[in-house]
Structures are given as C-alpha cells and as structure tokens.
A and B are shown apart, each in its own frame.
Chain A
Amino acid sequence: MARHRNCEGTSRRDFLKVGALGATGLTMSSYLRMVEAGQVKGGTARSAIFINLSGGPSHMDTFDLKPDAPDTHRGEFNPIDTNVPGIQISEHLPKLAKVQNLYTILRGVSHTLGAHRLGTEYVNTGNKPLPSIEYPGYGAVVSKELETAQDIPPFVAIPNSAQKPGFLGVRYAPLNTGSTPTAGQPYAVRGIELSGGLTINEVEKRQSLLKDLDSTFRSIEQDSQLIDGLDRFSQQAYYMITSKRSREAFDISREPSESAKLFGEDGFDQNCLLATRLVEAGTRFVTITLGGWDTHRDNWTVLKDRRLPILDSGLAGLLQALEMKGLLETTNVFVTGEFGRTPKINTERVGRDHYPRCMFMLMAGGGVKGGQVLGESNADATLPKDEVGYSPDDVAASMYYALGIDHQHEYHTNTGRPIMVVRNGNPIKELFA
C-alpha cells in the first residue's frame, strides 16, 4: 500500500530493503559493475585503511618541511632523504623514509575549517559539514557499496572512529573494537569473542534452541522488512561469533612472526597490525585513530619524543606488512589529520595552532603509485603554491576511485534530499599514474 516516497523516487521501503541486504553486500553500484566490465578504469583496491591523526598534525614538521624558511616559521627539525631520490621528510620519520616508494605525499591540501569537530567531519566524509545533515563516513559508504563475506565485519574501527553512518543508518556503523590489542597477547573484540568458557558447542546448542523457539513471526517474514532483517542479522551474528576466521582475524597473537616483527610494541603498532589482518580476512574498511597531534604547546618535544616515532613505526610496519602479504595492490591506505598547523610559530607556547589552509595527506595502495610527492605548498607553507591545491573532497574522491566506488553516486536522506557520495571533489589522476 501507500509508502512514503522521496523526491527522487526511492521509497523508504526500498531503503530498508537495500539496507537489509546491503550488509551482506548483495547490492553493487552500477559504477562498480562498469568497472568490472572494464568500461571504467577504477583503482585496484578491495579494502581501505584510514588512519586519522586526530588533533591536526603539523605539516611543516612532518612531511612538508621548509628548511629555508625564516626562523619565525621553520621549526627545529631537519629534513632527511628518503629511498626515493628528491623526496625529503622529517628526520624523526626514519622508517617511513625507507619505504617512501610505497606511499605518496599530498602537499598543499587546503580547506577552511579550523575547528576540530568540523575539520574532523570534513576529512572523514569528504564533504564540508552542513548543520542540516550528517554525512556518512567513508567506512559506512564503503561497507554499503562493497560486498563482504557473511562472517566478516565489513567496517571495523580501532578502537573507535569519528566516522558515523550518518543518514545511511546505524546498520552501516562500524564495529568498534573498543580497545587496543597488546603485542603478542590473544585479542578478541566485543561481542564476537567466545569468552567466559563459552564453547562453540554451547553456542551451537543454544542457537539451535533459539531457532526452534523463534518461530512466532514466521508467517509474516514476506511482509515485514523488520522481521526479515532481524533474521538475516541473527544468522550473520551467529556466523561471526562462531567463525574461526572472524575470531582469528582479530587475534593478533596469531600473526606469523615474519610479519609480526615489522611492528613495534606500541598500541598504534598493534592497531596497524590488526588492520592488516582484518583486511586480509576481507574486511572492507578499517579506521585507526591516533590522537595527540594538537600541539599548541611544546610542538617539537611532543612530536620528537612521542608522536613521530609512534606514527613512523606503525605506519611503516603497516605498509611493509601489506606489501609482504601482497595486499598493497588491493588495499588503499589514507592517512590524514583534520588540518595542518600554523606555519608561523607561536613563540609564547613554543607551539603551532590550528591551520586548515595548508596541510598534508598520505595515500598508498590500491593502484596508487607510491614514491611521489603531489601538490606543493608555497615557500612558507602557508598556502598551496599558486593557491591551487587539493581539497579534502579530491582526496576522498581519489580513495573512492581506488575502491571502484562512484564518488558521484547519489544517496537520498530520510528527508528525500539527494546527496552525492562526494559532491565537490574529483579523483586526483596523478595518484594513479
């Protein structure tokens, strides 16, 4: 009978249907089908890892050094050579310098939102935030668009994420690990571990009891999306809980020593290790959050002693592990903070403040050609050179491109408003050269 229909013709009932199926990925975008048919050349990624450097890392002290800038701007660190001739990065990123060939630096990325919340929402959705709408984070879109095996969670956040499912609905929310694995220790995630002595036998026994008892609504499965959806979820949950593959994917203590040794003992290292394992198992989108970059005070001390060594070790490990496992070709890696930091040093606090007009992002894998620097900032790193820079939207569109997802695909909000995956950006072709 009558159903509400939004202006572009998709009924709410259809949403529900797509949603209920979407988690198992029975839907595929037409774009993706075209890609598969060779009509469109997309990237080669089947999964993505997004690392959110929360707080806003200083671009001038990491991947966009200006050794010749005046003392008011330059900062304490010196550049070092990387394994790609001509590319230099901060001296406190020695491990990343040795794998520069695996990833590409985007310089002179620029936007205008200098507040943490807004900037974070921007770089996690590829859309400039609007008060009237909550954009879905990348992971929600990717898990809606790409098929995932039924016993593998499509979207995992380690330990949690700024990415929300937004108007796509809670079913595309990430599975939050809620915690960080400890090196060498068995690890399990909330809800899908077998703990408290629970055995597979017991789970199967009670599941069969449940199946026996859960028959009240059998007559209306055809008519009720809710009942149908609950049935599917019940099965999926059971698959995940009982799937050895799923549990083992989370258990970093099972990592072969050959690749495990690429990672340090820090929590971030282990999160990176976990991300590679999940991607290996078929998870489509993993986010890792690494905070502590809001260096208004003691910028150089904080970076040198804590932030940079941690990032250096974990990210270099991640890239090498993906390469070793042959997964770099099928995994897009995207690293960014919500903004850069003021090129002009805040001498009072020996720090740098929020600065969105010039920042860096990193990208690797899934068809991205490593060992490049794309874009350029001006002499004092205050703006993109010639004021032509990349926008967060462009980089987001590039990530979707790598994954073969049409970034101009339109969704409809509950209010019927049509919203593109990324409205204002275009893939950066040079990344895939």
Chain B
Amino acid sequence: MKCCVGMTVLIAALSPGLAASAADENADSQKQKELRPASERFASPDTDEIPDFRRLVVPVIGKLGCNSRACHGSFQGQGGFQLSLFGYDFKMDHDGLLERVDLETPADSYALHKATLDEPHRGGKRTEKGTWEYNVLLKWIAGGAKNVDLENSPTFERLEVTPSELRFSKAGETVQLKVVAVWSDGSREDVTCMCRFQSNDDQIADVSKTGEVVNQQAGDTHIVAFYDNGVQPIPVIRPVTDTVGEKYPKLATKTKIDGLVIEKLAKLGVVPSDVAGDTEFLRRVTLDMTGTLPTPQQIRDFVADANADKRARKINELLETPAYAAWWATRFADWTGNSDDQLNNVTPVRAQAAQDWYEWLRARVEKNVPYDRIVEGIVLAKGRQGDEDYLEYCASMSEIYQRNSEASYADRETMPHYWARNNFRQPEDRVIGFAYSFLGIRMQCAQCHKHPFDAWTMQDFHEFKNFFVHTTFRNSPGAREGAEKLVTDLGLDTKLRGNDLRRQITPLLAQGKVVPFDEVWTRKVEPARETNGNNRRRQQNNRGGNQPREARLLGESEATDLSQFEDPREPLMAWMRSNDLMAKALVNRVWAAYFNVGIVEPPDDMALANPPSNKPLLDYLTQGFIDSGYDLKWLHREIANSDTYQRTWVPNDSNHGDQRNFSHSIPRRIPAEVALDALVAATSADDEFGKMLTDVDRRSISIASAGSRYNENRQNYSLSVFGRSIRESNCDCDRSEQPSLLQTVFLQNDQDVYRLIDQGRGGWINQVASELGMRQTRTAGSAGNNSERQIARAETQIRQLKAELKKAKKADDEAEATKVARRLEFAEKQLARLTGVDKADDKASATAQSANDAEKIPDIIRRTYLRTVSREPSADELERTVAHVKSSENQLDGVRDVLWALINTKEFIVNH
C-alpha cells in the first residue's frame, strides 16, 4: 500500500490564508465535477452505484460508532467482532465484516440485523432500515462486499472545508460546514455526511454530528473535520469586544512578532496590555533566560540606566552568561530525556553518563552551536569518533573518565548516550522518543491504531521505525575481543560480567588505566543482491525482518533505500533539515518557555487536530529560525525583544480572559530548579547573590540528571516537590509547573527554608545583623537540635584542641603544634559558621543599637523587597513592614519575618 497523505500536502492544505470569511463561497466552477453527498445518492436503495469500501463503508461504520473504543474498536473486540480503532486497517475491517454479511440475500446480513437491532445488540440500535447509511451498507453487500484495492486506487489527497474560517458575531449563530474530499485522480466528493467533527473548545463553538457549528461564547478555537486520513481544522472566532475593524486602535508594532500577534488580537477585539515597567521586565527576562533572580544591584543599575536600548543590551548580556547555557541545557536535557535511571550501566562510572550528556549539551548551548547541528550530534551519534577502532575508542573514553582529566566528553563530536538509554533500545520506543524529542509529535497512538488527531497510520509508524533498527548499544564489532584483551591486560578475570566487572574497573579507570567501554554503533545496510526466483522470497522476508533494507519517512510516499547510506540514519537527518518540523517544534517549545503556553499547546503535541493559536506567527518564527541558520540566540533575541514578550501581566478589560493569544504576560510558577535557586539567592548575602549568574556549577539549574536515585536524595526534596522533570515518559508534562500543597508547606515551614533564612555567614539575615550591629540570635544552629549538637561538638573539639596545642608546645613538637593549630583554626571557623558570628560581629554586638539603626530599617526593607520580588516596596508596603519590624521585640527577627513573608508571597514564586 502506498502512503496516503504526503506531509507536504497536508501542510499545504493548512496554509491557504485565513482570508476567507463565513460569507466566502469558493468558486466551484473551476473544479472537477463534484460527487453529491452519499446521503443523497443513497437516499433510496434504487441506485446502481456500488459503494466503495474505503470511501463509503468504513466512514459509515465510523459514523455509526461501530469502531469506537467502547464497541468493536476495543482491542478485545466486542462479541467476538473487532474493527480497527479509528479505522484504516482495511483488511482487518473487511475480514471481520465479511464474516457477518450474506451475499445471497444482503438484507439478511447479520451485521445489518445487529445494527438495526433485529438481532439483540449490546451496542444498541445504530441505524434503521431505509436510512442512507443502511443503504450504503446494503448496496455494498449486494455489490459483492469487496475490499478496496489500495494498489490500484487513487490515494486520498486532502479535505477542503467551506467556509475555511468562521467568524461569528453573536451567540446562537449557526453555520453549516461543507467538507469535500479530493483524491489523487482529481475526483471530488462531498463527504460532509460521513465526517467526524470535533470542537477544540465547545464553550466557544459546538459542532453537531452533521457539521453544523453553533456559536456559544466569544473567543477563538478550531472545529476539526476528520474523514479518511484527512484532519482539517477550521478557525472559529467571535470577537470578545466590539473593538474590532475600524474601532480597533492603531497600535505600534515594534517587531514582526508584535505585528502578527496584534493582527490576531484585532480580529478578537482584544487590546494588548501595556509594555511592562523596567523592574517587571528585568525580573521576568532574567528568570526566563537564565533561571536566575536579578540582584538588587542589577535592578537598581538597570532602572537608573537612561539609554533607550537598555533592554536589548540586557538581553544580549544575559545570553552571554553561564547561567543562560546552564539553564537552557537543562531544558534540552528534559526534551532529550537525560535520566540516570535509564542510563544505568551505560558507562563504567555511576551517574557519569548523565553528566556527560548534560555537559555535552551545555557546551553547545554556550557556544551557540546551530540547533540542527546539536540535533545531528544526537541523531547520528555513535561511540567511536573518526577512524577510532574499538581499543582507541576505549582509550579516549578512559582518558575522559580519569580523575582531573583535561579531556571532556563535551569535546566528543556526538552524544550517543541518547541511544543507549534503557527506554530507547526497542525500535518502537525509539520512534516515540525521537518524535517527542525532535519533532514535538506524539507517535505513540499510531503504534497500535490510526492516530486519532493526526495523519499517522500504523503503517507510517512501522515503516518509519526501520530507520531505527540498525543502531545498537553494545556488542559492536571487535568489542568482545577488545574488551577481553583490556580485561586481561588489567589482570582481571575475563569471566567477570556486569556489576562485578564494573566494581573492579571503576577504580582502575580513576588511576588512568584503559578499560572497556560499551558503545553505540550502527550496522551498514547491505544492498539487495540481484535476485533470481528462488531467493526472492528470502529477500522479501528480509525486508520485513530484523534488518529491513527500506524505511519510509513520515509523510513521504516513497520508501528510502537504506543501503545507499553509510549510516541508515543519514536520510533521517537530511529529511529533518529538508522540512520545518524540527525547527517548528523547537521554536514552539522555546516560545512556550517564555509565554507559559506554546503557540501550539501542549508544546509537544504538534498534531493536525491541535493547530497553532496563531499560525502566521509560528510560521514566521520557524522560517526565521531556519533562515538564521538555526541560531538559538537569534530566537531568544527575537522573542525577548518583542513588545509582546515585554507586556505587563496586568490585564485590561478586553484581555483578562486571554490565555492563548499573548495579549499580556501570564503569571506562572517558576520551574523547580529556578525556584530553589531563587530561594537560595533571596536568602543569601549580597556577595553570594552576586555570583549566581556566573558560578553556576553548584546551582540547581545545572544538575545534570533526573531519575529515582536522584529524586530520592533528601537534598532534592524541594526539587521533586516543585516538579522538576522526571524525564521518564516522553512528555513535556514530566516537568510540572503546577502548584501544590506540599510546595506551600515547604516554603512556609520547612527546615530547609529556615536553614537558608537562618544560615550564618553568607546569609542575608546575617548581613543585616552586621549592618545593624546586632548578633544573629536565631541561626540554623539554634533552629534545630541537630545544629545545637553540632555547636556543642565543635565547642568540645575546640577545648580539646586547645589542650592538645598547649601540650604540643610544651613538648616543643613544632610539627604537631602546627598541625593542631591548623585544626583548631578550622574548628573555630566551623563554630563561627554554625553560630553565625565571628569575632568582628562580637565586637559589633558589643556596641549598643545606635539610634540611626532606625533609619537603616527602611533601607534594609527596600533591599529585602528587591532581592525577593525584584522591586521596591510601595509606600504602603514600606510603612507596614517597617512598622512590623519596629514593633518586633528584636528588629532582626522583624526583618526575618519580612523576608519569610516575602518568599511566601505569590509574587515571589510566580514569574510575571
């Protein structure tokens, strides 16, 4: 069977402009004669037409609900009769039906009796005698109940829906859709009566089974028509205000993005919010771009900067920070599924593969390597590089894995760990994972049935799968002998396997020995030999077997001969560069990260039935990104410099209900890693806070891996509570940005948060204490028994060390004295850290609280606001908080309360 729908064709079908309105009638005259609807042609059984199984019978049994999930579409069937779910397995459906028809006396067919309830039917009455649906089935049976001859029939090309866009002006208005199927021979048929219709939001527009659309509320959505393999969305819009057309204000459009967004908003009668002020913009852009809060100093500097281009300069500046690379590498690690759980035993050192993966990505984001080349480095990844043989490969990998090695995994050309994951070893898993990572599409549906919301069939899935079967992890040529030699050279038992072997070689690796590594490798596909009759059968078997020679790209009609390539994945990569799917998926995901929702939402569900909310916008960004040479920073700049991104979250009367059209900024909870880092920053002294953008290695935004070992780590409690991506199921929803009770409990009352607030030196409260000349009364030390014990222990140790020092000095043992003195110094520092005071603080605390401390409080409050919610307090807020501090018994405790309250405001945990 040939492919039925070319991707290009489908995309073309989507692209005719949105110009047509409800009143628009297409010029029928130019088209080939169009078949009248089946409902008219079969209104009476007195017709000579024999219904086509594919064009009429399958759509009718779909329309009657026979092949639905609850009925015969169930994988277990119903009453021993199974139909393919969502159709498209013509053979299976035909075989099943054929057992239930009576070719001699068609009207006595069991299938018809069931459908009309002449026979008891658990599915109830589906139709009645004499209806056009009944007649279609009857006439098909009477015509010999033939299956479709797919090889020799025209293929399905597209659906044409009129009107191509619906514009309503009041509730209750109705429009009847007309759907025409166009086939490859140019034949056309009105298939409205056989279509399945769906509204993407029935609160805005409802659609009946016959394709009549009724407007409900104002807003915009899509109605989708389904027939055969066609999935055609039709935009529906009803302005939410009467500020449309002439009345719509003339708005400045700073960038192309703004123009395209406002074009859509104008149709909706939605006026966008104003551009946000400097502090709101700075907080948002710093969080989105670098996963970091701006420091009080950065905020004050930015606000004071009088240059007109300061926002663009800030954007450029942020894109050059290590935090940008660290944070966006984490996002790429989400999308590619970097998880320790899945990389178990991929390398001889535990957890190292996940680290490699992250570093490889981070280096590329940092150097702004074009996105298509990053993808290429994963899609075409293999263990050996260049001409390396197995032993050379092991030598270069071992070198990377040595302690303090200068070689870095990031320097490897490709990143094969992606292919080595446990959940990426089966070809089916690879199709699903690959489509998720790089195309943002969900192929899993098509593994078992026709994709209900997209063009993909099971056949598409399984023929596409063949690109992935030639790549293997482990057992590469030469590996067995090579590994045996290495193990022997290391003096180890060659019978050691798995964990036993790993345990032995890991320490040797650290010592600089060369040890065996497993590798990802690809088998070259041999060309087909000239065949004679005898071995043709074997050839054919081979095609469908483990080493298929052909594979078919999604949306292409012709198969690719894999034997023409060194690596059968090459045509896959070339295909990704030849169309815009890869660019579109990435552009949409990056957009979603900046705007809370994608232009296609969810961002990883690029299906025909889930169209973009603003197609021209998505197309513009996609093409621009490709034209820029897949320049990631171009994309970030393009987005962040737009007014659309810079708008305030404060809505106006016309746009407060908008969640999908980018008329204002949408408050969203900051991602887990960013949240934890923000807590750390907000509670740190100025010096520490100032390092956040550059010292990224200890930050949560640069944690390489995900996985259960990682998640169960107590230190990561907060990250799992805040929904850091688990990277398990090929879904962007593995990361949760939903709020939860546990998160709030954590922020309000968790020891980890108190420990941050009450940390000694390096903490904000400690800094405030020394500015006020006070002693930090409450420290992490006094907050829990644990720390009290630590302090007691440190004090005892100091006493003991002092005694030892005395003894050593007495004994004139200089070496011992130096050693003990060093330990003593360390212990004293430790104590100072635990109690949050050093000698200087002691001196300061000796001085009484001076009168001018009172004047210091408002300044401290201002800076506490800046470091948490990134703005100055309002006069009212300042008054309340200063009053709170002054009414506190201890002013430091008062400031502490304010810090606590601010990190517990929604404004803190929400990016806005």
Contact = CB atoms under 8 A, between A and B. Distances in A.
Contact of B602 (A195, A206, A229, A414): A414
B904 A214 contact: yes
Contacts of A114: none
Contacts of B656: 220, 223
Interface string B886-912: 000000000001101110111101101
B340 to A, nearest CB: 14
A231 B906 CA distance: 8
A200 to B, nearest CB: 12
Interface in A54-88: none
Given A3-B221, A217-B667, 15 more contacts: A2-B200, A2-B201, A2-B204, A191-B742, A191-B749, A196-B754, A205-B897, A206-B897, A220-B656, A223-B656, A223-B657, A226-B910, A230-B744, A234-B748, A234-B906
23 contacts: A5-B199, A5-B202, A7-B198, A7-B452, A9-B202, A169-B740, A175-B742, A191-B746, A191-B748, A192-B749, A195-B784, A196-B751, A196-B784, A203-B749, A205-B897, A209-B880, A212-B880, A220-B667, A226-B910, A230-B669, A237-B749, A241-B748, A415-B605
B745 A191 contact: yes
B696 to A, nearest CB: 26
B875 to A, nearest CB: 14
A220 B653 CA distance: 11
B453 interface: yes
Contacts of A133: 729
B659 A1 contact: yes
B642 interface: no
A48 interface: no
Interface in B753-772: 754
B444 A132 contact: yes
A178 interface: yes
A170 B721 contact: yes
A171 B659 contact: no
Interface of A: 1-5, 7, 9, 11-13, 16, 19, 23, 131-134, 153, 160, 167, 169-171, 173, 175, 178, 190-197, 203, 205-206, 209-210, 212-214, 216-217, 219-220, 223-224, 226-227, 229-231, 233-234, 236-238, 240-241, 414-415, 418
Contacts of A195: 751, 783-784
Contact of A210 (B444, B745, B904): B904
B786 to A, nearest CB: 10
B881 interface: yes
Interface stretch (B59-67, B322-330, B730-738): B730-738
Contacts of B745: 175, 191-192, 237, 240-241
A140 to B, nearest CB: 12
Interface residues of B, number: 85
**Interchain residue pairs A-B with the least CB separation, the first 10:** A196-B783, A233-B744, A414-B733, A237-B744, A191-B745, A171-B740, A210-B901, A1-B219, A214-B905, A2-B221
A1 B241 CA distance: 13
A216 B905 contact: yes
A205 B750 CA distance: 18
Interface string B554-580: 000000000000000000000000000
Contacts, number: 198
Contact of B659 (A3, A175, A191, A212): A3
Given A171-B741, A210-B901, A414 B910 contact: no
Contact of B739 (A9, A173, A212, A233): A233
A169 to B, nearest CB: 6
A230 B201 contact: no
Contacts of A131: 423, 429, 729
Contacts of A206: 897, 900-901
Given A206-B897, A213-B905, A5 B201 contact: yes
Contacts of B657: 1, 223
Contacts of B459: none
B839 interface: no
B743 interface: yes
Contacts of A171: 738-741
B660 interface: yes
B695 to A, nearest CB: 29
B651 interface: yes
Nearest to A242: B749
A194 B783 CA distance: 11
Nearest to B270: A1
Interface string B655-676: 0111111000011110000000
A197 B893 CA distance: 13
B264 to A, nearest CB: 11
B465 interface: no
B345 to A, nearest CB: 15
A213 B729 CA distance: 40
B687 interface: no
Contacts of A229: 738-739
A134 B601 CA distance: 21
B884 interface: yes
A415 B442 contact: yes
Contact of A170 (B199, B240, B740, B881): B740
A238 B731 contact: no
A7 B200 CA distance: 9
A2 B660 contact: yes
Interface string B758-798: 00000000000000000000100011100000000000000
B850 to A, nearest CB: 26
A2 B219 contact: yes
A173 B742 contact: yes
Contacts of B222: 2
Contacts of A16: 738
Given A169-B738, A173-B740, A192-B749, A226 B669 contact: yes
* Interface-centre pick from B613, B660, B742 (highest chain A CB count, 10 A): B742
Contacts of B907: 214, 216-217
A226 B739 CA distance: 7
Contacts of B201: 2-3, 5, 11
Interface string B868-880: 0100000001001
A223 B651 contact: yes
Nearest to A235: B744
A4 B602 contact: yes
A336 B712 CA distance: 22
Contacts of A132: 432, 444, 729-730
B886 to A, nearest CB: 13
B906 A233 contact: no
B369 interface: no
Contacts of B754: 196
Contacts of B740: 23, 169-171, 173, 233
B602 A2 contact: no
Contacts of B778: 196
Nearest to A192: B745
Contacts of B69: 418
A213 B902 contact: yes
B349 interface: no
B714 interface: yes
A240 B668 CA distance: 25
A196 B750 CA distance: 11
A326 to B, nearest CB: 29
Nearest to A196: B783
B748 A237 contact: yes
Given A131-B423, A219-B650, A1 B881 contact: no
Contact of A5 (B200, B423, B741, B897): B200
Nearest to A203: B749
Nearest to A154: B741
* Interface-centre pick from B741, B778, B784 (highest chain A CB count, 10 A): B741
Nearest to B734: A134
A67 B627 CA distance: 78
A217 B911 CA distance: 12
Nearest to B730: A132
A212 B746 CA distance: 21
* Interface-centre pick from B721, B739, B783 (highest chain A CB count, 10 A): B739
